[in-house]
Amino acid sequence: MIGNFLFGELLSDAPEHNITPILKLIDFGSLERLQNGDGDEATGEQGNVLDVGIMMATLMLLLTGSKYVSETISVDATKLGGNEDVETPAKNILPDDLDRHPVDPCPEIEKDMRLLVAACMADLPVHRPRLSALERFVTRATRRRRPEDYGNPELETDQRISQIIQLCIFDAQVTRG
């Protein structure tokens, strides 16, 4: 375990280890109310959802050595059960619908996933999804989707995902600096 991350085994045969995912964010903190500098109140849960969103956006863009930051855009989160106009720093992961000629910065990553990450980073804590809603959305998406549902289905098979995890996590090239 490193910080709030728990790392499991990729191909474990031991039944008790199969319940631990390859990468798991743990310790979501308490639900006490915290005061933001601008006067908006955020719960511990809302703060942790923001952290999950930032971590996911950082992973999507394969940023190393820096944390995700971006310009704020307005997104429609009604598909996720959220508000219609959610202000979020998501310009680097979603096209800005207000642009005359919007360019999709991450066409290789499913738009619903990017929308969910954008909602997690919403400027107003009350616009962020609850952990229970986040869990339901992710569980539903992972159970219903098949490799054929994606743009490059050959990259979405269980075998290919295992190869990518092996290469990028377990056999990753480390530079000391």
Instruction: Assess whether 12 and 76 both reside in one domain.
Output: no
Counting other chains too, the contacts that 148-157 makes at CB distance below 8 Å and 24 or more residues apart are 150/110, 151/107, 151/108, 152/108
Instruction: Assess whether 3 and 86 both reside in one domain.
Output: no
For the chain, give the percent of residues with pLDDT over 70. 76
**Residue 30: per-residue pLDDT:** 44
Say if 9 falls within a structural domain. Answer: yes
Domain that holds residue 17: 1-30
* pLDDT at residue 119 greater than cutoff 80: yes
**Residue 1: per-residue pLDDT:** 41
How does pLDDT run across 5-61, given as a tens digit for each residue? 666 666 666 655 556 566 666 665 544 455 555 546 778 899 999 999 999 999 899
Instruction: Assess whether 6 and 64 both reside in one domain.
Output: no
Instruction: Assess whether 23 and 52 both reside in one domain.
Output: no
* pLDDT at residue 125 greater than cutoff 60: yes
**Residue 29: per-residue pLDDT:** 55
34 versus 145: which is more confidently predicted?
Answer: 145
Instruction: Assess whether 52 and 90 both reside in one domain.
Output: yes
Say if 77 falls within a structural domain. Answer: yes
Q: Could you tell me which of 71, 31, 39, 51 has the C-alpha nearest to residue 121?
A: 51
When pLDDT is cut at 50, 70 and 90, the band that residue 74 belongs to is very high
Say if 87 falls within a structural domain. Answer: yes
Say if 78 falls within a structural domain. Answer: yes
Instruction: Assess whether 9 and 68 both reside in one domain.
Output: no
pTM, two decimals, is 0.68
Instruction: Assess whether 104 and 67 both reside in one domain.
Output: yes
Instruction: Assess whether 3 and 50 both reside in one domain.
Output: no
31 versus 105: which is more confidently predicted?
Answer: 105
Say if 161 falls within a structural domain. Answer: no
**Residue 31: per-residue pLDDT:** 42
Instruction: Assess whether 25 and 50 both reside in one domain.
Output: no
Instruction: Assess whether 20 and 103 both reside in one domain.
Output: no
Instruction: Assess whether 73 and 12 both reside in one domain.
Output: no
Averaged pLDDT, 83-108: 88
Averaged pLDDT, 61-82: 88
Instruction: Assess whether 23 and 105 both reside in one domain.
Output: no
